[in-house]
Amino acid sequence: MRWRLAGVATRRNGWVADADGLNPIAILNGHFPSSTGPQPQNFREWLERSRADVLFETSSLDAQTGQPAIDHIRTALELGAHAITANKGPIVHAFRELAALAQQVKKQFLYEATVMDGTPIFSVFPMGLPATELRGFTGVLNSTTNVVLTEVEKGRSFAEAIRRAQALGVAETDPTADLDGWDATVKVAALAIVLMGVPVKLEQIQRTGIRELSEEKIRSCRAAGMRYKLVCRAERRGEGVDCSVKPELLLAGDPLANLEGTSSAIRFDLDVFGLSIVEHNPGIDATGYGLLADFVRAVKIP
Amino acid sequence: MRWRLAGVATRRNGWVADADGLNPIAILNGHFPSSTGPQPQNFREWLERSRADVLFETSSLDAQTGQPAIDHIRTALELGAHAITANKGPIVHAFRELAALAQQVKKQFLYEATVMDGTPIFSVFPMGLPATELRGFTGVLNSTTNVVLTEVEKGRSFAEAIRRAQALGVAETDPTADLDGWDATVKVAALAIVLMGVPVKLEQIQRTGIRELSEEKIRSCRAAGMRYKLVCRAERRGEGVDCSVKPELLLAGDPLANLEGTSSAIRFDLDVFGLSIVEHNPGIDATGYGLLADFVRAVKIP
């Protein structure tokens, strides 16, 4: 498989496109090339100039609108490029439209990196598990709350635990989206929409963050062999699906109770058996790997 | 997807083939059709008469030779049928030959049901995890020893525990292959051969069964928060792979320690992250599902 980097668009360093190829090592070392010719006026112009076969969409999540990622992906597919994203917004707000467009233009719209990094979740369905019915799932899908709860168990205050998660590079500068359960809620929606075929809205998901938990209670439960985790649940109910994200007290023997650090896990309840997938101790490169894996799947000769 | 049953070959009820189709419900209800015309003289004649597009090979395991399953699969591929098996023997003794033959005749040779029933293990590689290196794996892959160890923990003797596993339909009448670690050893070999590309021989795998464990020690460890499990390990070492099957004492927090009943689990050590897959409480239909899933994968329009 051969590739070249035909364009880079960043928030801070500007946009550059060259269909003949850019030097990725130079860019990684901080030498952002100065543009030749007039600057592209918008995303479409930039992508046209790159003549890219594949777009990697890694803009920040806007949970309320899914933009601008939706427009980026739509434009890529319209221009005949595969669209690969690590952004959950387009799944939650425009999955059917983008999947239909991809099918129409015979390009791939792939998003494995949106949940549990590069772990095969979306890729396992349908061909890993054909002819099954997915009745629901249970998961621990947010690393920041995992790290924070573990640190509080060890005796730190919430504030200290959050600083520790930030120092580890797990929590963002503003940890609100994680602590209030937004990140997990968006993941639940993405999984239910794609894997269960139900167009769940974020406001239909019951959401409780971990801020209201008592530090004392977290520690006393831990001493008694139980652990709080921010648990994600979805259960098919008629045509719809009941979803929730909330702190739950788990027995120590529960596989979800033993997750530490950046590890995450999901259990799928299938008609034929239960199936759990656990990702152990991924680093930031695991998300990059998810994009790479989608790239290989998109361009492989079938 | 439409299908018809073109032949059945059994140890007890004889062999029948009809390319126009047999009635599976009648056969399941004990009405084995009397053959029209002369009986087929051998496997090839029977399969030719069926004109099958797909063979399901479910003969019993012969761990030492892999026969007669290898001959059955070879014949099916030669006659232009996809070959799907739940028998580990052909993987351990003839994987390269059969995989090469399948590629040559452009038919599928699939074997998902051989390890962890229908759980996607072989199916996850390579396209669920492209561009990764598998460094090794750890698993609990044998249900009988799992059930027996749990029953001994609860206070039963080994003999009683084995009878209990037999009553549950988990252990065979002769539980030797399970208790002495043979079943697990064959699974380790199959995984190492297919997923790690190393032609491991059964005699190269260090194998210790659970018979030598003391009932007293199993119970006292359980009381102290630890559990014995028959653990399967493989670790890449240069061009080869070090493999073992032996009872190991696991901490209660270890995901492998919490497996009960027919559940099994495997953890893959990949260069990019660790990935565990757990199958919860499968019944006997889970093996059937593995064959069905391979069938869908074999005949699907790509």
B231-271 per-position pLDDT tens digit: 999 999 999 999 999 999 998 778 899 898 899 999 999 99
Identify from A112, A137, A280, A301 which residue to disrupt to test chain B contact, counting B C-beta atoms within 10 A and taking the largest count.
A280
Residue A290, pLDDT above cutoff 80: yes
Per-residue pLDDT reduced to its tens digit, B58-96: 999 999 999 999 999 999 999 999 999 999 999 999 999
Average pLDDT over residues A24-42: 87
Mind telling me how many Å the CA of A39 is from chain B's nearest CA?
A: 36
Indicate the pTM of the whole model: 0.95
Q: How many CB atoms lie within 10 A of CB A183?
A: 24
pLDDT tens for B119-154 read 999 999 988 999 999 999 999 999 999 999 999 999
Is B275 within 8 Å of chain A by CB? yes
Which residue type sits at B97?
Answer: E
pLDDT at A227 over 70: yes
pLDDT grade, residue A159 (50/70/90)?
very high
Mean pLDDT of chain A: 94
Structure token pair of residue B240: 């080869």
Alpha-carbon A292 to chain mean position: 14
Test mutation, B106, B119, B266, chain A, max A CBs within 10 A: B119
Instruction: Indicate which of A3, A140, A272 best probes the interface with B, i.e. most B CBs within 10 Å of its own CB.
Output: A272
Chain A closest CA to B22's CA: distance in Å? 23
Whether chain B has a CB inside 8 Å of the CB on A300: the answer is yes
Task: Flag whether pLDDT at A35 surpasses 80.
Answer: no
CB pairs below 8 Å between A and B: how many? 127
The tokens for A229 are 């985790």
Would an 8 Å CB–CB cutoff place A202 in contact with chain B?
no
Q: Which of B131, B272, B280 sits opposite A273 (nearest CB)?
A: B280
Quickly list H helices, B79-181: 89-105, 143-153, 158-167, 176-179
Count Cβ atoms within 10 A of the Cβ of residue B156 and give its class: 0-12 exposed, 13-18 middle, 19 or more buried: middle
Best residue in B115, B127, B279, B296 for a mutation probing chain A (most A CBs within 10 Å): B127
Nearest CA to CA, how far is B34 from chain A (Å)? 33
Q: Does B298 touch chain A (CB under 8 A)?
A: no
| DSSP line for A152-193 | HHTT--HHHHHHHHHHTT-S-SSTHHHHTTHHHHHHHHHHHH
Q: Do A278 and B273 touch (CB under 8 A)?
A: no
Q: Is A294 on the interface with B (CB under 8 A)?
A: no
Residues 6+ apart with CB under 8 A from B91: B111, B114, B189, B190, B193, B194
* Confidence check: pLDDT of B302 > 70: no
Give the whole-angstrom CA distance, residue A156 versus residue A158.
Answer: 7
CA nearest to A88, candidates A7, A173, A235, A205: A205
Q: Which two tokens stand for residue A232?
A: 């994600």
Cβ neighbors of A192 (< 8 A, separation 6 or more) are: A198, A200, A234, A241, A243
Give CA–CA dist B151/B162, Å, rounded. Answer: 9
Q: B130 and A289: CB-CB below 8 Å?
A: no
Cα–Cα distance measured from residue B207 to residue A224, given in angstroms and rounded to the nearest whole number: 38
* Nearest neighbour of A296 by CB, restricted to B123, B130, B296: B130
Q: Do A276 and B273 touch (CB under 8 A)?
A: no
Q: Is A69 exposed, middle or buried (0-12, 13-18, 19+ CB in 10 A)?
A: buried
Q: Which two tokens stand for residue A156?
A: 């730190």
Residues 94-123 of B with CB under 8 A from A: 117-120, 123
Question: Is residue B133 within 8 angstroms of chain A, CB to CB?
Answer: no
What crossing angle do the helices spanning A158-167 and A143-153 adopt, rounded to 10°?
Answer: 130
The DSSP-derived string for B254-301 is SGGGG--TT-EEEEEEESS-EEEEEEES--THHHHHHHHHHHHHHHS-
Instruction: Identify the pLDDT of residue A284.
Output: 84
Query: CA-to-CA distance for B162 and A153, rounded, in angstroms?
Result: 41
Minimum distance, in Å, between the CA of residue A36 and any CA atom of chain B: 34
Q: Do A292 and B123 touch (CB under 8 A)?
A: no
Whether the complex's predicted ipTM is more than 0.90 is answered with yes
The residues near A224 (Cβ < 8 Å, ≥ 6 apart) are: none
For the stretch A46-92, pLDDT in tens is 999 999 999 999 999 999 999 999 999 999 999 999 999 999 999 99
Per-residue pLDDT, averaged over B13-37, amounts to 89
